[in-house]
Amino acid sequence: MTDSLSLPQKVRRYLRSVPHARGTTLSLLLLSGLLATHRGFAQSAADRTEISKNPAAASGKGFTLSDKDRSHWSFLPVQSPSVPTDAAHPIDAFLQARLKAQGLRPNPIASKRERIRRACYDLTGLPPSPREVEDFDADASPNAWEKLIDRLLDSPHYGEKWGRHWLDLVRFAESNSYERDGAKPHAWRYRDYVIRSFNADKPYDRFLREQLAGDEFPDPSPDAITATGYYRLGVWDDEPADRELARLDALDDLVTTTGQVFLGLTIDCARCHNHKLDPIPQSDYYRLLGFFNNINPYKNGGPTDELELFNSPAERESHRDRINELNRQRADAAGRVKEFEIRIRQELARESANGTASSDAKTKPTEDEARRALGPDTFATYAEAKKSLETLQKQSLPVEKALAVTEAGTSAPETFILLRGNPNLKADRVEPGFLQVLGGLDPVIPPPGKNAKSTGRRTVLANWIASRDNPLTARVMANRIWQHHFGRGIVTSPNNFGFQGDKPTHPQLLDWLASAFIQSGWRMKSMHRLIMTSAAYQMSSRGQPEALRVDPANDLVWRFNMRRLTAEEIRDSFLVITGTLNPKMYGPGVYVDIPKEVLAGQSIPGNGWGHSSEEEQARRSIYIFAKRSLITPILESFDLAETDRSSPVRFTTLQPTQALGTLNSQFVNREAGILAKRLQHEAGGDLAAQVRLALYLATSRTPTEKEIRRGTHLIETLQSQEHTSPETALKYFCLTVLNLNELVYLD
């Protein structure tokens, strides 16, 4: 909710939306001044005046929870309603019952070509190959569709596609924002963890617990440690005007993201006062904040932000043994050097006329003194011992590390309600607690164990959120899975299931899906199969005059919604079509070539942006280094998700700069040239065959003869009228193909 943002947050969001404003010194100074003024001296004085008039209201007191509040649809227990009898598939039965009531009928099933392209993009984010299309089209078995779905779910590309959806939600980026926008250490490991988790079909409740409290697991695995990088993904100001306010803003980011992503509630609206719309008092906000209050503030690296990763206790013990051995060798070498230096001082003392030469152990003898005192042979041995010590001191034992969360011991600081959200105005002390509207029971937080390094509070929170009895968690995630298959959720405000959020278009279907999700063991691949085997998912996207009149927004799901590909799908499709996609998975972020005109928008042009080989640059877009102040142009043009806050839905814009960008970008022109060479290699010198192959690769269908003639005519015209070479003419035809609407839109 925009209205819940503080003035500095609003200004920060505005500045980041202005081209070339990111990372400027002016932005930093303006924000710093606003933070200091708005939350500091001026606000404190104004708050104290208002609070003195009505202290109870200022501290959020006087809140009452009514039966009407508790009866809101999303706060009621998840039920598994009876399935209507209108169709064989449960999803179709729920949808067709509503359609029948409105006198509408669902669209027929789409063609096989449309369905395989839809399924491939939805599950892997990549287009099908010509061979895949032909095999599916030729498969007349009754379970051909189910086999296709299972094959796509088994593809490693599935995790790359659906992991990207999750990264949007948790504001993933690999840099801190603000002027310097420095890199977050090892942030890429969290991205890889998410991809692996989706590919492994990790139960969602486990996935959730790992991110919120993986470090508190008994003998946590590397994945459990890496998952807690979730806490470190937000923006970070390395020189805040008010450090206490900055700490509270960081905690607010955690309450905000956790509330919206896992519970679908805008709990952050209660930071300064009782929630204006939902039954969430200010005390609930600070009770939830209490679960996070002992987290060490982010420092951009170091022992409180980076944890070592070991696959087993034995591996950890082995590493510890190697460290101990290295320390022993260092101590032995230091001892040998010290013995020589004592001998040197003794010799120097004897040489002194009065016997008072320095023998201070802190004073290192010079090389001349050592050579004179020891003689050439012994001096050589001494020099060798010193060199050996220096080598050992520089030696390190490599160990993998992850960006992770840590706590400041097993005892948490007190948490107070802050009047008007002002850190200088503390009101009542509160203990960690759950939302009153969801039961509000005081959590039982067991005392930390003997070897504990944290309070254990986050485990309690994670268990409450991941409980099958929590009415929000399964509904929210089932709705997200539906959203990314149908283009919109049953609840079209997927991060807001509160009073101001949109009501579900099919509440019974949502509850049935949430119940099925839990019953499946929280397995997301089961939900994909369930949704994609419905006739509703396989419907054509064509229009019906009567349905368009009655339900133009398709709220009743009488057809499948056409959609434009995402920014990553567009770029990745170019790489697949040209045959240059590098399928390599995981690892540190890739730096693609960015025009110098774009780099000039940084306060220090090119700062923090490396250079990767052409082979590395041809990897999938999810592996491009996610720098908040420097977004890859083609991805930004096609509506890449915002990284400052959770992004549950991406904008889908249609603007001239998109076509101008793809027509003129160095990347797309380079790919067009590569595609031209592929056509010449695979289709030979036959121009019509080259055009046919190019269109097939881009659209996953056999082009018509008319389309082939138009393509060959364009190439011939470029040669005859523009006097281009055959190679250049073919390249420009390929550039046209990469700009086809049919390529960037499904159905």
Q: Which amino acid is at 85?
A: T
CA–CA dist 370, 362 (Å, integer): 15
pLDDT of residue 39: 43
How much of the chain exceeds pLDDT 90, in percent? 81
Q: Which of 521, 540, 562 is the last residue of a domain?
A: 562
Residue labelled with tokens 């209660």: 270
For helices 112-124 and 524-532, angle between their N-to-C axes, nearest 10 degrees = 160
By DSSP bridging, strand 415-418 and strand 401-403 are: unpaired
The whole-number average pLDDT for the span 596-605 is 89
pLDDT of 299 higher than 60: yes
Same domain, 389 and 474: no
pLDDT of 2 higher than 50: no
Binning pLDDT at 50, 70 and 90, where does residue 398 land? confident
The whole-number average pLDDT for the span 420-425 is 93
Nearest residue to 255 via CA among 227, 281, 228, 293: 293
The string of DSSP letters for 422-480 reads -TT-EEEEE-----GGGT-PPP--PPP-TT--S-SHHHHHHHHHT-TT-TTHHHHHHHH
For helices 473-486 and 507-519, angle between their N-to-C axes, nearest 10 degrees = 110
By DSSP bridging, strand 563-564 and strand 745-746 are: antiparallel
SS3 for 53? Answer: helix
The whole-number average pLDDT for the span 352-368 is 65
CA–CA dist 249, 9 (Å, integer): 10
CB atoms closer than 10 angstroms to residue 304: 16
CB atoms closer than 10 angstroms to residue 382: 23
pLDDT of residue 54: 55
SS3 letters for 319-386? HHHHHHHHHHHHHHHHHHHHHHHHHHHHHHHHHCCCCCCCCCCCCCCCHHHHHHHHHHHHHHHHHHHH
Number of domains present in the structure of the chain: 3
CA–CA dist 385, 382 (Å, integer): 5
Comparison of pLDDT for 194 and 315, the residue scoring more: 194
Q: What is the DSSP letter of 565?
A: P
Lowest mean pLDDT among 61-75, 361-375, 488-502: 361-375
Nearest residue to 475 via CA among 537, 518, 533: 518
| 553 is a domain residue | yes
* pLDDT tens-digit series, residues 645-685: 999 999 999 999 999 999 999 999 999 999 999 999 999 99
pTM of the entire structure?
Answer: 0.88
The whole-number average pLDDT for the span 592-617 is 93
H or E stretch at 308: strand 306-308
The whole-number average pLDDT for the span 629-642 is 95
Whole-angstrom CA distances from 716 to 697, 700, 720 are: 21, 25, 6
Exposure letters 541-578 (e unless 16+ CB within 10 A, then b): beebeebeeebeebebbbbbeebbbbbbbbbbbbbbbb
CA–CA dist 532, 478 (Å, integer): 14
How far the first Cα of the chain sits from its last, in Å, is 34
Contacts of residue 191, Cβ cutoff 8 Å, sequence gap at least 6: 163, 167, 172, 622, 623
H or E stretch at 213: helix 204-213
pLDDT of residue 402: 97
pLDDT of residue 30: 44
Lowest mean pLDDT among 142-156, 432-446, 458-472, 473-487: 432-446
Q: 543: which 2 tokens?
A: 């229009």
CA angle 529–171–513, rounded 5-degree value: 25
| 508 is a domain residue | yes
Gyration radius from the chain CA atoms: 31
| 55 is a domain residue | no
Binning pLDDT at 50, 70 and 90, where does residue 353 land? low
Whole-angstrom CA distances from 270 to 42, 68, 280, 474, 518 are: 22, 20, 7, 24, 30
Binning pLDDT at 50, 70 and 90, where does residue 29 land? very low
pLDDT of residue 38: 45
pLDDT of 716 higher than 50: yes
Q: Which of 529, 562, 595 is the last residue of a domain?
A: 562
| 13 is a domain residue | no
pLDDT of residue 46: 53
pLDDT of residue 698: 96
Q: Which of 532, 562, 592 is the last residue of a domain?
A: 562
Comparison of pLDDT for 179 and 735, the residue scoring more: 735
pLDDT of 456 higher than 60: yes
- Residue 540, φ and ψ in degrees, nearest 5: -70, 155
Contact between 410 and 457 (Cβ < 8 Å) = no
pLDDT of residue 59: 58
* pLDDT tens-digit series, residues 241-295: 999 999 999 999 999 999 999 999 999 999 999 999 999 999 999 999 999 999 9
Structural domain boundaries enclosing 539: 73-162+469-562
For helices 726-737 and 687-699, angle between their N-to-C axes, nearest 10 degrees = 20
Binning pLDDT at 50, 70 and 90, where does residue 520 land? very high
SS3 for 312? Answer: coil
| 292 is a domain residue | no
CA–CA dist 705, 725 (Å, integer): 25
Contact between 22 and 628 (Cβ < 8 Å) = yes
SS3 for 38? Answer: helix
pLDDT of residue 40: 46
pLDDT of residue 346: 86
Same domain, 473 and 558: yes
Nearest residue to 8 via CA among 644, 493, 651: 644
Binning pLDDT at 50, 70 and 90, where does residue 468 land? very high
* pLDDT tens-digit series, residues 569-585: 999 999 999 999 999 99
By DSSP bridging, strand 306-308 and strand 401-403 are: antiparallel
pLDDT of residue 21: 41
| 287 is a domain residue | no
pLDDT of 33 higher than 60: no
Binning pLDDT at 50, 70 and 90, where does residue 55 land? low
Q: 105: which 2 tokens?
A: 């009928």
Nearest residue to 585 via CA among 623, 627, 625, 632: 623
CA–CA dist 624, 160 (Å, integer): 12
Nearest residue to 679 via CA among 637, 730, 747: 730
pLDDT of residue 1: 44
Nearest residue to 612 via CA among 594, 627, 600: 594
The string of DSSP letters for 41-78 reads HHHHHHHHHHHHH-HHHHTTTT----HHHHTSGGGSPP
CA–CA dist 126, 576 (Å, integer): 8
CA angle 605–609–612, rounded 5-degree value: 135
pLDDT of residue 249: 96
* pLDDT tens-digit series, residues 302-341: 999 999 999 888 888 888 889 899 999 999 999 999 999 8
Lowest mean pLDDT among 6-10, 24-28, 528-532: 24-28
Same domain, 473 and 395: no
| 288 is a domain residue | no
SS3 for 627? Answer: strand
pLDDT of 20 higher than 70: no
